[in-house]
C-alpha cells in the first residue's frame, strides 16, 4: 500500500520501492521490503509499528544516516542515492534537524552552548550564533534558562533544548525518533504540543517515530509499518 501526501504540491520527500537488506545469503535480514511514501512540505507524519517493523530503518534513510539497498529516495526532487558521502553529509547538516529519545546533549555545557553547536559547524559568527540560539530557546519556552547545564534541567526541559538545537538551523524537515520515550505523560504531552506548534506556526515538516498512539494522534498522518512494509495509513488528530 502506498502512503502518499494529501496535498497537491510536489513532495519534499519521496520514497519509491525502497528496500534495505542487512547481511547476505541465509543471514540476510530484510528491514524494508519496498516502501513507497510521499511527504509534502509542512506535513506532520507519525510512523508507528512494532519493533523490527522497519520504521526506524526508514527514519535513518530519510536522515541520510543509512542508504537504501535498492529503490529511490528523492529530497526536494534530488536523487539522494546519486549523492556522494560528503554531499549527503551536507544535505543532513543543512536541511535536516534531529531529535532523539535520549536528548543527546553535552552534559556539562549550557543550554545556550548546546543549541549553538550546529551553528558552530556552519561557521556562523559568535554574535549571530548567540542571537539565533537565544531565539530558538525562547521559541521552546526556555528564556532565562540559557546558562543552565543539562544536569540542572528536567527531562522535559532537556528535550526542549534538543528541539531548539534542531530548529536553530531552520531545517526543511525535523526527524524525531521517539522524542517522548524518556518522558512522563505530562512532559510528553508538552513536547508534542511544542512539535505541533512548530509544524502549524512555522510550517516545519516533521517526521516522527513513536510507539504511542496518544503521541501519534498529534500528527496529521499516521503511517503504520509491519514486517518491512507500509501496512496502512490513517489521519492523525490534527489533519
The pTM score is: 0.90
Q: Which three cell numbers stand for residue 198?
A: 512548530
Domain membership of residue 126 (yes or no) is: yes
Total number of domains constituting the chain: 1
Q: Is the pLDDT of residue 178 over 70?
A: yes
| CATH assignment of the domain containing 51 | 3.40.50.300
Which residues fall within 8 angstroms of residue 48, CB to CB, at 6 or more apart? 55, 209, 210, 211, 213, 216, 222, 223, 224, 225
Sign of the Cα pseudo-torsion (56, 118, 106, 145, in order): negative
Pseudo-torsion of CA 164, 145, 212, 14, nearest 10°?
Answer: 0
Mean pLDDT of the chain: 91
Domain membership of residue 231 (yes or no) is: yes
Q: Is the pLDDT of residue 8 over 70?
A: no
Alpha carbon 143 to its chain centroid, in Å, reads 24
* pLDDT number for residue 227: 95
* pLDDT number for residue 101: 82
Domain membership of residue 69 (yes or no) is: no
Q: Is the pLDDT of residue 3 over 70?
A: no
Domain membership of residue 8 (yes or no) is: no
pLDDT bucket at 108, cuts 50 / 70 / 90: confident
Domain membership of residue 35 (yes or no) is: no
* pLDDT number for residue 138: 93
CB 174 within 8 A of CB 136: no
Residue 225: in which H helix or E strand, if any?
A: strand 221-226
Query: What does the pLDDT average to over 213-227?
Result: 95
Beta strand spans in 83-213 (E): 96-100, 173-177, 205-209
Q: Which three cell numbers stand for residue 123?
A: 561557521
- Separation between Cα atoms, residue 101 and residue 182, nearest integer Å: 6
Which residues fall within 8 angstroms of residue 236, CB to CB, at 6 or more apart? 44, 46, 216, 217, 218, 219, 220, 221, 222
Domain membership of residue 184 (yes or no) is: yes
Q: Which three cell numbers stand for residue 103?
A: 536528548
Domain membership of residue 25 (yes or no) is: no
Range of the domain at 231: 41-59+85-235
* pLDDT number for residue 237: 79
Amino acid at each position: 500500500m502506498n502512503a502518499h501526501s494529501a496535498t497537491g504540491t510536489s513532495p519534499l520527500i519521496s520514497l519509491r520501492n525502497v528496500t534495505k537488506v542487512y547481511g547476505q545469503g541465509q543471514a540476510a535480514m530484510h528491514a524494508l521490503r519496498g516502501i513507497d511514501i510521499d511527504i509534502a512540505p509542512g506535513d506532520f507524519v507519525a510512523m508507528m509499528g512494532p519493533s523490527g517493523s522497519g520504521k526506524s530503518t526508514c527514519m535513518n534513510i530519510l536522515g541520510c544516516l543509512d542508504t537504501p539497498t535498492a529503490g529511490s529516495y528523492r529530497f526536494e526532487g534530488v536523487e539522494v542515492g546519486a549523492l556522494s558521502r560528503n554531499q549527503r553529509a551536507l544535505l543532513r547538516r543543512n536541511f535536516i534537524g534531529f531529535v532523539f529519545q535520549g536528548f543527546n546533549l553535552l552534559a556539562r555545557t549550557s543550554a545556550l552552548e548546546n543549541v549553538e553547536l550546529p551553528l558552530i559547524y556552519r561557521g556562523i559568527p559568535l554574535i549571530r550564533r548567540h542571537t539565533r540560539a537565544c531565539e530558538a530557546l525562547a521559541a521552546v519556552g526556555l528564556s532565562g534558562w540559557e546558562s543552565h547545564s543539562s544536569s540542572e534541567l528536567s527531562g522535559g526541559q532537556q528535550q526542549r533544548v534538543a528541539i531548539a538545537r534542531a530548529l536553530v538551523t531552520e531545517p526543511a524537515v525535523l526527524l524525531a525518533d521517539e522524542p517522548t520515550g524518556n518522558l512522563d505523560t505530562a512532559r510528553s504531552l508538552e513536547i508534542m504540543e511544542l512539535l505541533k506548534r512548530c509544524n502549524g506556526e512555522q510550517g516545519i515538516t516533521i517526521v516522527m517515530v513513536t510507539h504511542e498512539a496518544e503521541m501519534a494522534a498529534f500528527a496529521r498522518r499516521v503511517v503504520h509499518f509491519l514486517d518491512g512494509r507500509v501496512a496502512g495509513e490513517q489521519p492523525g488528530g490534527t489533519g
